[in-house]
Amino acid sequence: MKNLFSIYTLVVLSLISLLFNSEKALAQGCVAIKGNASTCMAIHADSSNVSSWQFASSARYFKSFRHFSGTVENTDRLKQQTEVINYTSVINLSLTRIINNRWSVMVDLPVSNNVRSSLYEHGLVNGAYIKKERHTTGSFGIGDIRFAAYRWLLDPIKNTKGNVQLGLGIKLPTGDYNYKDYWYNVGVNGTKELRTVDQSIQLGDGGTGFTVELNTFYNFKHNFGVYGNLYYLMNPREQNGTRTYRETLSRFLANEAIMSVPDQYMVRGGFNYSFNHIKGLSVAAGARLEGIPVHDLVGRSGDFRRPGYIWSVEPSVNYEYKKLVVFASVPFALLRNRTQSVTDIENSAIRGIHVQGDAAFADYTVNLGIATRF
């Protein structure tokens, strides 16, 4: 019922946001990829030089619960009912000013609601359970706002079959990256304490970041073509000063006491097809890769992060009616990999054994979107 209620809430909020104003998403689970990447719902270059506005609302929901270390799933976590479960719902609201047929600027605001259910955060002290009970923590609020400028690199009037769009942006640390909720059974007397929630459900990452995007398409026929999107967020800041409390779980986690500010990325591409007999309807299918790298492009990569990536197959459908576009996609995970972090590598050297943490991933995500031009 919780899953159905969350999906229903996302649909209602998306419709409400559209009504009051006349695709943005990354993925899944304990790998803390925030919802501020851009994916075009209907990527094409406009040959008109008439300026206009576009408002878009996209929603994403997933439940992560399958634990992976590397590409190997720890199925015992489900059998023993010790898995960590994240329920994540994100609404992205974006407003774009289309200046002419080459240039546009955009502002994007994510709003997220997260619930995290776990055992180990509520009673495990120095490696031993004081009381073994499952409890939840949560977070709700705005995330990190992003501004971006876009330019079609080829003249849309002369290049109607294909084009490439470049986007450059800045992400501001507007989301709370020290969000707190109650942890239970963390004292010797089974008391509760207000602590920071896990990195995967923090609303922001605490860093000022810079984004690079490439969006491209090519039409072999008027109703059949290929598309591609690339997004990379570069976060120069190493750590944000937020305590993880992981050092209270084991003495071997002392170097994971503070949260890292990681880069993130997304790449997707595939084929799209428009139906001749159903005006405005198109479908697409492709591959999607998204993740957190082990090492950032700029700056150090220490402290606590869960690096990893997800390969998914992504079917989607678009419907366009006049100035309104409705979008839906459901990426299904094919490969999930929780890679070895910098602190895992450091712990491996200190302890003389291979250390590699795990992370919980979802089987699929649900993405819904609505956009209108005015």
How much is the mean pLDDT over the chain? 88
Distance CA 328, CA 23 (A): 10
DSSP letter (8 states) at residue 70: B
Looking at residue 11, what is its pLDDT? 41
Looking at residue 10, what is its pLDDT? 43
| Selection from 171, 174, 14 nearest residue 90 by Cα | 14
Q: Name the token pair of 275.
A: 């139906």
Q: Name the token pair of 60.
A: 């994403």
Distance CA 331, CA 361 (A): 13
pLDDT band at residue 24 using 50, 70 and 90 as cut-offs = very low
Query: CA 233, 24, 161: angle at the middle one, nearest 5?
Result: 95
The CA-atom distances, in angstroms, between 63 and each of 3, 87, 120, 324, 364 are 8, 5, 18, 29, 8
DSSP letter (8 states) at residue 341: P
pLDDT band at residue 304 using 50, 70 and 90 as cut-offs = very high
DSSP string, 157-207: TT--SEEEEEEEEEE---S-SS-EEEE-S-STT---EEEEPPGGG-S--S-
Amino acid identity of 124? L
Residue holding tokens 């997304």? Answer: 266
Asked whether 25 and 38 are in contact (CB, 8 A), the reply is: no
pLDDT band at residue 30 using 50, 70 and 90 as cut-offs = low
DSSP letter (8 states) at residue 303: S
DSSP string, 240-294: EEEE--GGGT-GGGGGGSEEE---EEEEEEEEEEE-SSSTTEEEEEEEEEEEE-S
Looking at residue 354, what is its pLDDT? 94
Chain segment 54-100, per-residue pLDDT in tens: 999 999 999 999 999 999 999 999 999 999 999 999 999 999 999 99
| Residue 344 parent element (H or E) | helix 342-351
Distance CA 319, CA 125 (A): 52
Q: What share of the chain is helix, strand, coil (3-state, %, to 5)?
A: 10, 50, 40
pLDDT of 43 above 70: no
Looking at residue 251, what is its pLDDT? 83
Q: Name the token pair of 218.
A: 């090519």
Looking at residue 252, what is its pLDDT? 85
Distance CA 132, CA 74 (A): 20
Looking at residue 17, what is its pLDDT? 36
Residue 138 has φ and ψ, to the nearest 5°, of -155, 170
Chain segment 218-277, per-residue pLDDT in tens: 999 999 999 999 999 999 999 999 999 999 888 888 889 999 999 999 999 999 999 988
Other Cβ atoms within 10 Å of 299 Cβ, number: 16
Looking at residue 44, what is its pLDDT? 61
Q: Average of pLDDT values for 146-168?
A: 95
pLDDT of 41 above 90: no
Other Cβ atoms within 10 Å of 233 Cβ, number: 28
Looking at residue 172, what is its pLDDT? 98
